[in-house]
Every structure is written in C-alpha cells, then in structure tokens.
C-alpha cells in the first residue's frame, strides 16, 4: 500500500514489520474480510500515536469478521491494538510493536433497550453521543461524562474506565456496567455479568476487563445501568483568593447533605460574568426543580460563610459550556506537546498537592469530591525533558508516600522514553502478569503498553 511507504523512522525503531511482511499481511487480510473493512491510508494515519503509525488497520463490520481477524493475528503472531475512535491511544507506555489496529467503529448498534428497567445493551463501537440521543427520547441517560465526549465510544470508555465529574454522584464505568461480551485472542466470545441490576451470581469478571485497556480481550458488547434525566440542572460558580480555601469549601459541600452532582475546582476560570481568573469551584446540581433550588440556596450560604469572593449561578446554554469545559479538560490534542498528568489521592491530601503542583503548572483541574487532580503542562518543547522527567518522578514519590498514585495520561514519546507512565505496582505485578498470560498467552493484545510493560 502507498501509505506504508511514508512510515516514519519511529515505526521501525519500535518493532515494525519490513515492507515485504506488510504486503503479505495486506494480501491475507483482503482474503478474510470485506474489501471496505481494510483501512485506507488516511484511516491508518488517524490512528497514529507516540509517533508510530500502525502497519495495517481494519474496521470489521460484524462480530464474525472481527473473529476472523483476531484468529488470523493470533496464528501469525501479529500484535493487535484494539480501539474505537482512537481517543485513548495516547495513554500507555511506548509500544513493543504495532502490527494491526482494529477499530470497533462499525459495531455500533443498540441491541436491546428496556426503559422500564433502566438498562441498555449496545455494541462496543457506538459513540456515547449517539447512545445519549437514543436514551434522551425516554428521558434517560448514561451518567458518564468522560473527555472526548463527542467522539468516544462505549467500548473505549469501559476499556479505560474513563469518567468525568459525574463520577461523584453516579460512579465510574465499574459501577455502571452490568455485563460484557469480550473476544479473546482465540476468537472466542466470552460473557460476564448479566442484563439486570440485581445480577449477583458468580465471580465479578466484568471488573477484570474494565480498565484493562484491551490487554485481556476486545470488548464487543456492553450492558449498562442508566439514570433518569434531571428535570432541572444548574451550575454554581464560586471564586476564592487561594486554592486551599476553595478546596476546603468544596469538600464541605461534597460531604454535606446537599448531594451535588459534582464538585470541581479550576485553577483559572473565566466566563462572561467572571473576568478575574481566580481559583474557582464549579458545583453541579440536577434533579427535581424544588430540590435543585434548595441545593443552590444551601450551597450559596455555605460559600458565603467560607471566604468566597462571589457566587454566580448559571443555567441554560452557558451551563452547557461550563460543563463541557470541565469534561474536556483531560482531552489532549494529539498534535500538541501537552503533558497530561493524573493524581489519585485521598481527599484530605488534595489541597496540599494542588498547592504543590502550582510550581509545575498553573493549569490544573481538581475533581474535589473524588480526590482526583489533573495537571496540564503545555508547550513541553519549552521544557528540558530530563528536568521534567525528574520533576514528575519526584512528584510521584511524594504521591506514593501519601498512599496515592500518579499516571501520565498523555505525553510526547521523548518523555515516555524516560519515565514509566503508570508507575510501579510491585505488590501486584506478579498476579497481573499471571492473568495476562492466562488470557493472552501469545501477548498479542496491546503488548508492552500497560502497567509494567504488560
């Protein structure tokens, strides 16, 4: 294929096939799939990551076609990079090799929807926005709001256990997935969980696949728990002189009987009514109109008692803009040199670390109620990579000492060469390797990209 002529040097450094092998792969794939299921040059380049372009790419149109592809890859020891729309490809260590990217974009049907049971079963490639459109017709929604909200697929969300500010009220994908179907490297589809909320029989195998980043199998079908759409929603914005006061106030709201949808802090925030960029709490509410009115009044009183510089309530279109700003903070442009770092901490340590990381960047977002702190370090080209690596390693040591962890969710390849994006998990790595060997003995699914290069 002509597209393969322009593969950059990184493709060969990281274990790429030679040109003759690529032509052979291409020829064999054409024999086992529909002609339009083989990616074009442009398709393949859109799934590039870490300076690497996959050798080949396929977009199967059925489970049976996916099965043939997976079996072919296993028999020929080709690595598979499972993906949906590709929004999470930047997460992970540098790949050992990237032979074949397999997208589930065409596996995008709603298979079963029971509004009365608040459950839905979908194929993994359906986009979150398309599913929400279907659910909204019955005044329901899937209460997940991960970054890349307009492009991400359900399979990608589940595989990465991705979430957003709504996790405070509704939990993450781990809490909302009722059942899965997953294709293992032999092409066999295995089932876990069920289609009802009260399904409790047997081992909870779902949790093993959720957040495994496609290293144990390719998710093909997901059954999810839904929620009613709030009849009224609003966002309260409260600015503070410093981050510590803002987080202290946010924790008070999150721990109170007010029960907001989310409590986030933005280190610098401006909107049409707020022009002075100060540490800002963004507190979301949703539900019955009377309940939301009480929540707003109670929160405003609490803010005014805790050194707030001012309180604003936003609804309508402006509210949607604020919610999108929060949701998309962790979305990174793949063509930029931005480094995105995620700290998972105890809520009581959030304020201390939020102040500490200001020496690294002033662009931070805190999911206060869940102890999650995001750092966005822009224009890495202006940094010394060695120095930044040392800084992040020191920060990781401090976080681990506080019984948390630090994950680098996106970074240029030159930084990934110097730092493990996941960090060490010494006590559980042996068990994880044993599970990987059991589920993917040939090591064809996302090899080398997960924790400790699994």
> What's CA 67's distance to the chain center, in Å?
26
The residue with greater pLDDT, 242 or 425, is 242
* Pair type for strands 262-271 and 310-314: unpaired
Query: Mean pLDDT throughout 77-89?
Result: 94
Q: What is the pLDDT of residues 357-390, one digit of tens each?
A: 999 999 999 999 899 999 999 866 567 899 999 9
In the prediction, which pLDDT does 24 show?
59
The residue with greater pLDDT, 34 or 63, is 63
* Pair type for strands 100-103 and 80-83: parallel
Q: What is the pLDDT of residues 39-64, one digit of tens each?
A: 998 999 999 988 889 999 999 999 99
In the prediction, which pLDDT does 1 show?
38
Query: Mean pLDDT throughout 242-256?
Result: 94
- Judged by DSSP in three states, 382 sits in helix
The residue with greater pLDDT, 303 or 8, is 303
How far is 266 from 14, CA to CA, in rounded Å?
Answer: 38
Task: Give the Å distances, CA to CA, from 343 to 66, 163, 208, 350, 403.
Answer: 36, 14, 22, 9, 11
pLDDT at 335 over 60: yes
- The domain made up of 331-416 has a fold known as Alpha-Beta Plaits (3.30.70)
In the prediction, which pLDDT does 146 show?
95
Query: Mean pLDDT throughout 170-180?
Result: 94
In the prediction, which pLDDT does 239 show?
92
Largest Cα–Cα distance of the chain, in whole Å? 71
Listed range (22-36, 222-236, 378-392, 411-425) with the worst mean pLDDT: 22-36
Average pLDDT of the chain to the nearest whole number:
89
Pick the CATH number of 232-328 from 3.30.70.1710, 1.20.140.10, 3.30.390.30, 3.40.30.10: 3.30.70.1710
Give the tokens for residue 142. 């899937």
The residue with greater pLDDT, 26 or 237, is 237
Continuous segment of H or E residues that includes residue 297: helix 289-304
Query: Mean pLDDT throughout 214-228?
Result: 97
Q: Which region holds residue 299: left if phi is over 0, alpha if psi is between -120 and 50, else beta?
A: alpha
Q: What single-letter DSSP state applies at residue 454?
A: -
Question: What count of other Cβ atoms lies within 10 Å of the Cβ of residue 401?
Answer: 8
Q: What is the pLDDT of residues 177-207, one digit of tens each?
A: 999 999 999 999 999 988 776 665 667 888 9
**Helices then strands (H, E): number in the chain?**
16, 18
Across 226-371, the runs of DSSP E, i.e. the strands, are 227-228, 232-239, 262-271, 274-287, 310-314, 339-344, 364-367
- Judged by DSSP in three states, 29 sits in helix
Domain spans of the chain, in order of start: 2-103, 110-228, 232-328, 331-416
Q: What is the pLDDT of residues 118-153, one digit of tens each?
A: 999 999 999 999 999 999 999 999 999 999 999 999
In the prediction, which pLDDT does 2 show?
36
How far is 54 from 390, CA to CA, in rounded Å?
Answer: 31
Which of 4, 82, 66 is CA-nearest to residue 29?
A: 66
pLDDT at 99 over 60: yes
Pick the CATH number of 110-228 from 3.30.70.80, 3.30.465.10, 3.90.850.10, 3.10.20.340: 3.30.465.10
Main-chain dihedrals φ then ψ at residue 126, nearest 5 degrees: -70, 140
* Fold match flag (2-103 vs 232-328): no
Question: What count of other Cβ atoms lies within 10 Å of the Cβ of residue 165?
Answer: 25
Task: Give the Å distances, CA to CA, from 409 to 29, 151, 159, 361, 380.
Answer: 32, 18, 14, 16, 15
How far is 395 from 358, CA to CA, in rounded Å?
Answer: 12
CATH 3.30.43.10 fits 2-103, yes or no: yes
Residues 6+ apart with CB under 8 A from 179: 121, 191, 192, 193, 194, 195, 199, 206, 222, 223
Listed range (23-27, 181-185, 301-305) with the worst mean pLDDT: 23-27
pLDDT at 232 over 90: yes
How far is 252 from 299, CA to CA, in rounded Å?
Answer: 10
In the prediction, which pLDDT does 273 show?
64
Main-chain dihedrals φ then ψ at residue 187, nearest 5 degrees: 90, 0
Cβ pair 47, 57 in contact under 8 A:
yes
What pTM value is reported for the model?
Answer: 0.91
In the prediction, which pLDDT does 15 show?
44
Using alpha carbons only, give the angle 265, 268, 273 rounded to the nearest 5 degrees: 95
Query: Mean pLDDT throughout 6-11?
Result: 39
In the prediction, which pLDDT does 187 show?
96
pLDDT at 85 over 80: yes
pLDDT > 70: what percent of the chain? 90
């Amino acid at each position: 294929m002509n597209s393969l002529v322009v593969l950059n040097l990184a493709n060969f450094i990281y274990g790429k096939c030679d040109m003759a092998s690529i032509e052979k792969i291409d020829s064999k794939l054409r024999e086992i799939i529909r002609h339009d299921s083989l990616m074009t040059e442009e398709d393949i380049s859109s799934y590039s990551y870490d300076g690497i372009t996959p050798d080949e790419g396929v977009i199967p149109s059925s489970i049976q076609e996916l099965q043939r592809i997976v079996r072919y890859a296993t028999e020929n020891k080709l690595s598979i990079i499972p993906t949906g729309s590709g929004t999470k490809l930047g997460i992970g260590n540098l790949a050992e090799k990237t032979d074949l990217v397999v997208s589930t974009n065409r596996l995008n049907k709603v298979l079963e929807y029971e509004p009365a049971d608040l459950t839905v079963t979908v194929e993994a490639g359906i986009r979150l926005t398309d599913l929400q459109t279907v659910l909204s017709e019955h005044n329901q929604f899937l209460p997940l709001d991960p970054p890349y909200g307009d492009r991400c697929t359900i399979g990608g969300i589940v595989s990465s256990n991705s979430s957003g500010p709504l996790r405070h009220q509704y939990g993450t994908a781990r809490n909302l997935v009722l059942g899965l179907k997953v294709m293992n490297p032999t092409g066999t589809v295995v089932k876990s969980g069920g289609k009802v909320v009260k399904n409790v029989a047997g081992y909870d195998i779902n949790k093993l696949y959720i957040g495994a980043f496609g290293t144990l199998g390719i998710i093909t079908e997901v059954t999810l728990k839904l929620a009613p759409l709030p009849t009224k929603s609003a966002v309260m914005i409260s600015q503070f002189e410093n981050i510590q006061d803002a987080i202290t106030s946010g924790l008070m709201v999150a721990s109170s009987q007010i029960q907001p949808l989310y409590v986030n802090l933005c280190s610098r925030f401006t909107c049409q009514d707020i022009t002075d960029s100060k540490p800002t709490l963004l507190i979301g509410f949703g539900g019955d109109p009377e309940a939301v009115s009480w929540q707003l009044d109670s929160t405003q009183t609490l803010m005014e008692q805790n050194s707030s510089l001012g309180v604003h309530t936003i609804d309508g279109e402006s509210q949607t803009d604020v919610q999108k700003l929060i949701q998309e903070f962790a979305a990174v442009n793949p063509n930029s040199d931005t480094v995105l770092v995620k700290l998972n901490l105890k809520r009581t340590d959030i304020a201390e670390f939020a102040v500490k990381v200001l020496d690294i960047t002033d662009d931070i977002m805190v999911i206060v109620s869940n102890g999650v702190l995001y750092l966005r370090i822009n224009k890495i080209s202006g940094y010394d990579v060695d120095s930044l690596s040392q800084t992040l390693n020191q920060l990781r040591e401090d976080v681990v000492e506080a019984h948390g962890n630090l994950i680098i969710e996106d970074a240029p390849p030159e930084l990934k060469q110097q730092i493990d994006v996941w960090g060490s998990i010494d006590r559980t790595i042996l068990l994880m390797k044993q599970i990987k060997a059991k589920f993917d003995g040939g090591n064809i699914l996302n090899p080398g990209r997960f924790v400790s290069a699994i």
